[in-house]
Structures are given as structure tokens and as C-alpha cells.
Structure 1
Amino acid sequence: MDLKDGIALHKQISDWLKQQIETGALASDEKLPSENELSKKFDVSRVTVRRALQTLENEQLIYRCQGLGSFVTDQRTHQSFSILNDFTEELEGSGLEASSKLISFEQVDISDQKNLLSYLDIENKKIAVQIERVRLGDGEPIAYDITWMPIFYGQLIEGYDLEETTIFTILEEEFDIPIEKGCYRIEASMADEKLAKHLNIDPQTPLLLMNRISYTIGEKPVYYQKRYYRNDKMVFELMAERRNSNSESDEELPFKEMIPVFRDNT
């Protein structure tokens, strides 16, 4: 490729790399040429190459791993999972329009489910609000949610359109109840008949199960949720740092970033 006058060099390089990705010359998860290789190929500085790569990263066409290089994404969205997001925010940048199909919204007796009582901090109560939804991207099922809420919060969102908006949005924008943090547990699961039907997959298909408790001010639980992701639609990428063996500090090192990547199987 010959660079042209009148067009910023970094843009010409990013456009060329984008074309390589879009035509399949650079495949999903394939490593890009190094900054040094690109610098020599186009006879430009590494600063120019870095600007080109930053453009592609901003457009979510590539992801970069420190010390390893840059790689083509397997679908063009990378959202930081180190920030607490709702489903709509997770899909931002994916090119998919988020929506939900409400399956049920009801009050249920959970007096015999001690784990739920504990998660919701309502050990002295018996009833919670249970919400079940299929989570969609461009109308296609990506995940299935089962959410339990203390009666107080559940009654606040009753009557709102949970197919077009999220629980976070309703609580934060309508009632000034901020969602401040979440606690996650990720595990493998299998689709039973019910999940298979709603997710449009075969029974016993492996799923990724995300358990989450979301908290508002004062560490009050707003809900406990089990979200079953189709793993042919979404995977997670984790960026972490190794503890310095010479460090005398006992402080735990948090992971740097965990990213949900939505796959395009079309």
C-alpha cells in the first residue's frame, strides 16, 4: 500500500487495517503485525502506528494485550466489565439493539430458600418479587434472567416497561436510587427444557451462568440475579496482573479489566 498525500498517515494505516479485517484477510483473534513491522511497512514512526491502532481499538475492531500485541476481535464490541453495567449498556458498541421479553413478574414465597433470603438481606421476610426475562440483541435471544428483589424495590418498578428499559434505569432515573456496586460469581451451567425453549437452543447446551448481587447506598441489596448467557453469543476476556513476588504487601490486586465480547455467528 502506498500512502497518499493530503490524508493523515495514521488514518490511511487504520483504514487499510480495517479493510484487512472486513475482508477477512485478518481473521478473528488473529494477531496483527507488530508496531515495529507496521512502522517499517509504511515507513512511518511508531507514534503514527500507535495512533492508527488506537483508532481501531476505539472502534472495537481490535483488542490489545500488554506484552503480546494487538488482535482482531471476534465481534466488534468490547465493554469494560470492571464497571457495573446493565444489559443495555453491555450491548452498547456491539451494533446490536438491546431489548427484553418479559416472561413473568410476580411475588413469590422464598421462605425455604435461605440463600435468597441472605442475598437480599430479608431473613425476617418470606416474600420477594421474581422477574424472568429473555434478553435480546436485535431480537435474537442472548441471555435469560431470573431476578429476585425485596418487595420494596420490586413494587417501585412494577408497571414500568421492562421490555424496553432496565431495572437500573428505572431505579436511578425515576427514584434517584443509585446502583453503586455489584458482586459476581461466574460458573458453567446447562440448558434445561425451559431455558432451551426461551434461548432457542437444544437442551443440555452449555451456558455461562452469571450470578450477581447489585447494591445501592449503604450496601443494601437491590436484587439478586441469575443470568444464563448463550456462550455462542458471548464470552469474557480477562486482563489481570501477576502479583510481584518481591512485594511485602498483603493487599490483593484486583483484575484490570474483564470484557464481555458478543459474538456474531451470522
Structure 2
Amino acid sequence: MLKEGIPRHTQISEWLRSRIDESHYEADEKLPSENELCDKFDVSRVTVRRALQTLENEDLIYRCQGLGSFVTDHRSHHSFSTLNDFSEELAESGMKASSEVVSFTQKDIAGQHDILSSLEMQNKSLAVEIERIRLGDGQPIAFDSTWLPIFYGQLIEGYDLRHQTIFTILEEEFEIPIERGCYRIEAALANKKLATHLQINIHAPVLLITRISYTVGNKPVYYQQRYYRNDKMVFEMMADRTSASSSTQKENNITLKEFTPVFKEEK
């Protein structure tokens, strides 16, 4: 089946690429195993792995250890184990990030104890609230509400939040680095307001990520709730399991290695 004069791994990768292009393998469908490919083409596992590596480098497939190789959905990855802003999240996807500012106001949040506690606003209740629709190539991907103590809110007031992020303004204009983030991820349903801004149905499922971002000295800068359209993004996680005997906390021996947001493209 393989021709002379052309590297075997190249021919195997081209065969798999053509099968993917012709939709013989759909998005997220598992490819033949390494053993099956070895038998089919009568080659070594090293040759097969080299062919698969070529396709992985081209973002045509992704591989999960112990499970096999799968067809991608033309999605771009970036590491969520590193703290990034929205523009950085979209950078590798090839999409242009922008925002539509819905509101920028000062609000009394006396009754929102979770926000006050997270921002360490003891004896204070006035905060800056910013609502934005986050866009990729002009299409709504997420909607977020961000609360900042008045000090930080006043610093970014007047800047163009349509094309600049809070991260960028604070770090580049005021030399206030964002050093750490704490995340909570949960499922939610879109209310009328979210549905309107994200152009989805009321009660459609969305992914809610709550984040607290900190600067030097572990000082909280903002509290944010971002709602992602579930047809635009998913998360993939990779974790390492360490042996219980080598862990000082035997009940907690799963180490997060990578947590990746994956932006989906329209088919």
C-alpha cells in the first residue's frame, strides 16, 4: 500500500489527513489505534507515532494518553494553568478579541457579601461594576460582570475597554501586576439578560467562571463572573496521578497539569 521513495510516516499522515478531510472521521472521533495502523501499513510503532505527531502539530488531531488519538474540531488551545485575560485566551485561536461595554457604574453592593468578602472590602460597600459582552471576530462568546474597589475602578475609568483589557491597563499603564487568580467553575442557565447579550435562548446552558484576581501582596483587584456560550467553548483538563505513598496528603493525590479552554469555530 505504501510507495517507495516517500517516507512511510509521511504517507501515513497523508492518508489519515485525507480521511479526516473527507469526513471519514468526524470531530472528536477516535482514530485507529497505533497497533491497528502498524498492522494496516506493516510499519513500526515509531513510524506511526511520527505520523500522528505530524497531525498533532497541524492541530488536526489531539492525543490523550491511554485513550488514543482523536480528530479536533478546528479548535485552538491555550493553557489555563497560566493566568490570562480574554485577549490572550483568543490569541492562539486566530480570532480578534474585542468587547462591547454595557455599563460602567459605581454601585452600592452592601448586600452582596460574597463580593465584599472576596475583595476584602471591610466597612466599605461602594464598588465599580463593569458589564461587557466579550466578542471573538465580532460574535458574542461570553458576558461578564466585574467588580473592583473604587481605587482600581477609578484608575481604568476613561480607557477604551472595547479594545483594552483590565489586565493590560493596570499592568502597562499603572505597573500593577496581576499575579494570581482563583477560579470557580459551574454550570448555569441563561436568564433573559444573558440570553439577549449572548444571542442564545432563555434557559440555555452556559458555563459560569467566577474569578478573583490578585496583585502583589495577595491583594484582590477584582471579582468577576463570566458566562461563556457552551457552543463556543469547552474546557479540557489534564491531571497527573501521583502515588499515594509519595504524597504527604494521601487523600489528595491528583495534580492538575493543564486546564485548557478550547474555542469552537463555526462549521
TM-score by length of 1: 0.89
Gaps of 5+ in 2: none
Find the counterpart in structure 2 of residue 261 from structure 1.
262
Deviation at 1:168, TM superposition (A): 1.3
1:75–1:261 contact (8 Å) kept in structure 2:
no
Q: Does 1:47 align with 2:57?
A: no
CA displacement, residues 105-141 of structure 1 (integer Å, 9 cap, x when unaligned): 1111112222111111112222111111111111111
CA displacement, residues 9-46 of structure 1 (integer Å, 9 cap, x when unaligned): 54554444333323322211111222333344445443
1:215–1:223 contact (8 Å) kept in structure 2:
yes
Deviation at 1:173, TM superposition (A): 2.1
Tell me the distance in 2 between the aligned counterparts of 1:46 and 1:248.
Answer: 34
Q: Does 1:137 align with 2:136?
A: yes
2:2–2:8 contact (8 Å) kept in structure 1:
no
Same amino acid, percent of matched pairs: 65
Q: What are the residue-to-residue correspondences of 1:201-240 with 2, within 5 Å?
A: 201-240=200-239
1:76–1:93 contact (8 Å) kept in structure 2:
no
In structure 2, the CA distance between the partners of 1:250 and 1:94, relative to structure 1 (3 Å rule), is: same
Find the counterpart in structure 2 of residue 109 from structure 1.
108
Across the aligned residues of Structure 1 and Structure 2, the Cα RMSD in angstroms comes to 2.3
Q: Does 1:122 align with 2:90?
A: no
In structure 2, the CA distance between the partners of 1:68 and 1:155, relative to structure 1 (3 Å rule), is: same
In structure 2, the CA distance between the partners of 1:65 and 1:106, relative to structure 1 (3 Å rule), is: same
**For structure 1, which segment, 80-89 or 249-258, has the greater mean C-alpha deviation from structure 2 after superposition?**
249-258
Tell me the distance in 1 between the aligned counterparts of 2:64 and 2:103.
Answer: 42
**For structure 1, which segment, 137-146 or 73-82, has the greater mean C-alpha deviation from structure 2 after superposition?**
73-82
Q: Secondary structure at the match of 1:50?
A: helix
Gaps of 5+ in 1: none
Q: Secondary structure at the match of 1:24?
A: coil
Q: What are the residue-to-residue correspondences of 1:18-97 with 2, within 5 Å?
A: 18-97=17-96
In structure 2, the CA distance between the partners of 1:156 and 1:10, relative to structure 1 (3 Å rule), is: farther
Tell me the distance in 2 between the aligned counterparts of 1:216 and 1:15.
Answer: 48
1:135–1:145 contact (8 Å) kept in structure 2:
yes
Say how many residue pairs are matched: 265
Find the counterpart in structure 2 of residue 156 from structure 1.
155
Q: What are the residue-to-residue correspondences of 1:5-16 with 2, within 5 Å?
A: 5=5, 10-16=9-15
**For structure 1, which segment, 105-114 or 133-142, has the greater mean C-alpha deviation from structure 2 after superposition?**
105-114
TM-score by length of 2: 0.89
Deviation at 1:265, TM superposition (A): 3.7
Deviation at 1:180, TM superposition (A): 1.4
Deviation at 1:195, TM superposition (A): 0.7
